Amino acid sequence: MASDAPRKLNALGQSLWLDNITRDLLDSGTLRRYIDTLSVTGLTSNPSIFDAAISKSKWYDAEIQKQMEVGKKGEELFFTLAVQDLTRAADLFRPIHDRTGTVDGFVSLEVSPKLAYDTKATVEQAKTLHAAANRPNLFIKIPGTKEGLPAIEDAIFSGVPINVTLLFSTDQYKAAAEAYLKGLERRVEAGLSPDVRSVASLFISRWDVAVADKVPAEMKNTLGLAVGRQAYKAYRDLLESDRWQRLENLGARPQRLLFASTGTKDKNAPDTLYIGGLAAPNTVNTMPEGTLLAFGDHGTLGGALPRDGGDAEAVLAAHAKAGIDLTALSAKLQSDGASSFVKSWEELLGAIEQKSKVLA
């Protein structure tokens, strides 16, 4: 028996996005079905998703061959394929984008992680990709690392909608929000509209994986939710600040908090743990396909996440008491995430090269 939970989550004010994109999802009509039956209102992508789709299926073969014939290879070839898929997805979500006053209905495409330490090149690529897709409901993903923050500010100033990725803690979220605010304030100073959209993607499940064998049984799978709830309180505080109110009065819209990495990694925990536990208005939850289907099948929804983050501080304090250095762990999770992002990228380009050789 299918659950009504996705519709209820949507009614509560949280956007439910799919963390997946493949040509198969588009061609088979599956994405369309998810929009119609599971209240999916947006989508995110990343290099490992494309890597699996390109290396393990034939869906891209004909297009790769076609692009090779016009001399495209490597990164350029990948971005051509990705932009094709994401513009099709963006068009499917466009009615939602229009209906929600351009708040929802977004898709996301990542810049090359090889540019991670080059602010100027990251901003240039963000502008180029956004222009190539030519869709208002396409986010460009830039990691919210120390090196990524100036690129986020500059890209926002340039009018490119940004999905800030790889955030793991409330402090990292606040730094991303600061970059967003600065970008908007610079636009106001320059006489430009501050209506440039953004989401800040906070990764949840990796916290629980990282401490699984370091905390007592009763504390397992509680840290990710606590981090999400603490960040939610910071997000609500920001939206009530004088600084934000000034920008909103000039036409800015909130950079929405997005809960990412919300597939449950522990086989003994509920498979929809991070969905029901982080239901909050004016936020986004982007989930893997398996989690989406599980939530659509047997998901349940309690109340909305409390404005003050509920038990977040108590849970975080208990982890600190158990010897978990949360600040050091958040830095490690972000730097490990950035490294695995580069690794996925190299694997993706390897898969394209391999496929190109076979097809040649």
d(CA 282, CA 253): 11
Pairing relation of β-strands 40-44 and 256-260? unpaired
Please give the angle made by the CA atoms of 259, 101 and 272, to the nearest 5 degrees.
Answer: 25
Sequential DSSP letters for 142-211: EE-STTHHHHHHHHHHTT--EEEEEE-SHHHHHHHHHHHHHHHHHHHHTT------EEEEEE-HHHHHHH
Phi, psi of 138 (to 5 degrees): -120, 120
d(CA 21, CA 133): 15
Pairing relation of β-strands 14-19 and 162-167? unpaired
- For residue 161, give both structure tokens: 């909608």
Please give the angle made by the CA atoms of 83, 86 and 88, to the nearest 5 degrees.
Answer: 110
Catalytic residue flag (residue 233): no
- For residue 124, give both structure tokens: 């240039």
Task: With residue 258 as reference, give the H or E element that holds it.
Answer: strand 256-260
**Within 13 Å of residue 163, how many CA atoms lie on the same side as its CB?**
28
Contact 41, 96 (CB under 8 A): yes
Of 141, 182, 265, 267, which residue is the catalytic one?
141
Residue 335 CB-density burial (10 A; 0-12 exposed, 13-18 middle, 19+ buried):
middle
d(CA 225, CA 205): 8
- For residue 358, give both structure tokens: 């076979």
How far from each other are the two terminal CA atoms of the chain, in whole angstroms? 48
**Chain Cα centroid distance, residue 336:** 17
Contact 298, 272 (CB under 8 A): yes
Q: Identify the three-state secondary structure at position 14.
A: strand
Question: Which are the catalytic amino acids?
Answer: 141
